[in-house]
Amino acid sequence: MKFFLDTANLEELKAGARWGIIDGVTTNPSLIAKEGVAMEDQIRKICAIIDGDISAEVVATDADGMLVEGRKLAKIHKNVVVKVPLTRDGIRACSIFHKEGIRVNVTLCFSAGQAILAAKAGATYVSPFVGRIDDIGGNGMDLIRDIVHIYKNYEFRTQVLAASLRTSTHVIDAAKAGAHVGTLPFKVVDALFNHPLTDKGLDQFLKDYGKVFQEVPAGR
């Protein structure tokens, strides 16, 4: 499973890049606004840090507006993937972008039926939101499993990008379900490193080594 960082914060992206495990980035208007930098400028900076697919979302809600914005975003860098909402206008725009060779991430997916529409429109990625479905009493991971199963049935090329992953368990379950990509906030990626037995084991290794190979004081 590929790991995308779900952030527009440059410091988080630089930290992720140093680990060497980040395959791409997803952003949305909320994340861009949080950084206080114009969309195109921030996307350009992100592309200079992470060499992978970078989702940049349109803010227009009509298909014609999405097409204008999306074409402009796609010209920023070869790695930009235009992100559109799973609405009638978004699917129409996705279909046109696909014919033009512009890659698309269809976001705000909450049902398998919607995911089929995205695949039919030629989306590169579809983004089902796991955590938000859990919030209303559903099972977001069941949705991931259903979409993966349907896409395999018909050999759709659209990749399942599991979004709204909030915990390490979410990440593991999405991987088990066969999601092609998981997009994670920085804190969720960071949490994957943590296990008390790792800390305990490392501490013991260093103590054992230190008992035998004590540093010889200077001058002796």
Q: Residue 117 is inside which H or E element, if any?
A: helix 112-120
Active-site choice (14, 75, 83, 176):
83
3-state secondary structure of 78: coil
Q: Is the Cβ–Cβ distance between 186 and 7 less than 8 Å? A: yes
Q: What's the rounded Cα separation, in Å, for the pair 122 and 130? A: 22
Q: What's the rounded Cα separation, in Å, for the pair 26 and 164? A: 11
Phi/psi for 33 (5° steps) reads -60, -35
CA 36 to chain centre: 21
Report which residue type is found at 135: D
> Minimal CA–CA distance to 25: which of 44, 37, 34?
44
> Minimal CA–CA distance to 161: which of 127, 112, 110?
127
* 83 among known catalytic residues: yes
What DSSP state is assigned to residue 163?
A: B
* Residue 87 Ramachandran class (φ > 0 left, ψ -120 to 50 alpha, else beta): beta
> Which residues does the annotation mark as catalytic?
83
